[in-house]
A and B are shown apart, each in its own frame.
Chain A
Amino acid sequence: MGADRVPAAIFRAPFSEGGPGSHALLLRAASRYSGLAPAALGELRTGPWGKPSFSQVPGLHFSLTHSGQWWLCAFASVPLGLDLQIHRSHADPGRLSRRFFHPLEDAWLAQNRYRDFFDVWCAKESWVKYTGHGFFDDPATFSVVDEAGHFPALEGVRLRLLPFAPGYSLCLCAREEAAVEWQDL
């Protein structure tokens, strides 16, 4: 691990109807990561655009995501954004890309018949989770593909596509390069 890399932990848990809900999983993961009892974390509150934080541990940065059969939450001492997305077979990537993505992204994706659509989706969502704005920012107003056609690329942050289960895309966004440790919840 490089000395300049920020440690980050990503907790993963199966996610399905009838199982523990996202809030319960978050409390369990945050408690384990911080070493604090769930009650000591304080209230879960949301910022003006909906980004959650714990009232008693404002320096505890986290980003949670769920898709398909999985729930994930990343923790670090710095802001970060994490997004997981199962590749939905019924989705029309070209249509969604033309509607919601930046023209640079759409042109880049069209070269390969939108094969990497879900990677681009996750990169974009990890960024809006990092900023805390969510999609209150129009997703077509920023691009994770640069003018030279590099992907993922966004000035000022590191977008890192992480390997996960087959049929899923996953991206972590942070200002610094993160050294990721996986933990099963």
Chain B
Amino acid sequence: MLKLIQDIIYNVTGKQGITYETDFVQDLALNSFDVMNIISAFEDHFDTTIPTREVWHLHQVKDVIDYLAQKGFTQP
């Protein structure tokens, strides 16, 4: 799942060096537009809709991985 997140963030923002502890705001300086683009990319990948209100609590990459696991989205 980390690889998928790395690929999506790179494709959307050009940022590299993503780890489990990477913070989207503190480390990557992403803004809301970047986050919406990333949500849209995840939605396309998993063919689902992610409510925007559910993602603003997710600060680090590991939070996203936990969220996706809770929703039943898995990636080899």
B71 at the interface (CB under 8 A from A): no
Assembled-state Cα–Cα distance A49/B32 (Å):
14
Q: Dominant SS at the A interface?
A: mixed
Whether the pair B33, A85 counts as a contact (CB closer than 8 A) is yes
A135/B56 in contact, CB under 8 A:
yes
| Residue contact B33 to A88, C-beta cutoff 8 Å | yes
Contact B37 A138 (CB under 8 A): no
Contact mask B15-45 → A, CB, 8 Å, 1/0?
A: 0000000000000010111001100100100
**B56→A65 contact, CB < 8 A:** no
Which B residues are CB-close (under 8 A) to A182? Answer: none
Given A65-B31, A134-B32, A91 and B53 touching (CB < 8 A)? no
Q: How far is the CA of A85 from the CA of B32 in the complex (A)?
A: 9
Given contacts A66-B29, A67-B31, contact A138 B36 (CB under 8 A): no
Interface size on B, residues (CB 8 A): 13
Find out whether the CB atom of A95 lies under 8 angstroms from the CB atom of B40.
Answer: yes
Chain A window 51-64, contacts with chain B (Cβ cutoff 8 Å), 1 for yes, 0 for no: 00000000000000
Contact B32 A138 (CB under 8 A): no
Taking a contact as CB atoms under 8 Å apart, the answer to whether A136 and B53 are in contact is yes
Residues of B within 8 A of A138 (CB): 51-53
**What are the residues of chain A within 8 A of B53 when measuring CB–CB?**
135-138
Within the assembled complex, what's the spacing in Å between the Cα atoms of A99 and B51? 11
Partner of A67, one of B33, B40, B43: B33
A71, closest chain B residue (CB):
B29
A31 contacts chain B at the CB level, 8 A cutoff: no
* Contacting residues, chain B, for A137 (C-beta < 8 A): 53
Residues on A with C-beta less than 8 A from B52 are 100, 135-136, 138-139
CB-CB under 8 A from A95, the residues of chain B are: 40
Q: Are A66 and B31 in contact (CB under 8 A)?
A: yes
**Cα-based distance from A65 to B25 in the complex (angstroms):** 12
How distant is the Cα of A4 from the Cα of B53 in the complex, in angstroms? 36
Interface string of A118-143 (1 = CB under 8 A from B): 00010001000000001111110000
Instruction: Choose from A17, A66, A83, A96 the contact partner of B36 (Cβ within 8 Å).
Output: A96
- A135 to B37 alpha-carbon distance, docked (Å): 13
5 example contacts (A-B, Cβ-Cβ < 8 A) are as follows A66-B29, A90-B12, A95-B40, A100-B40, A138-B53
Interface residues of B (CB under 8 A from A): 12, 29, 31-33, 36-37, 40, 43, 51-53, 56
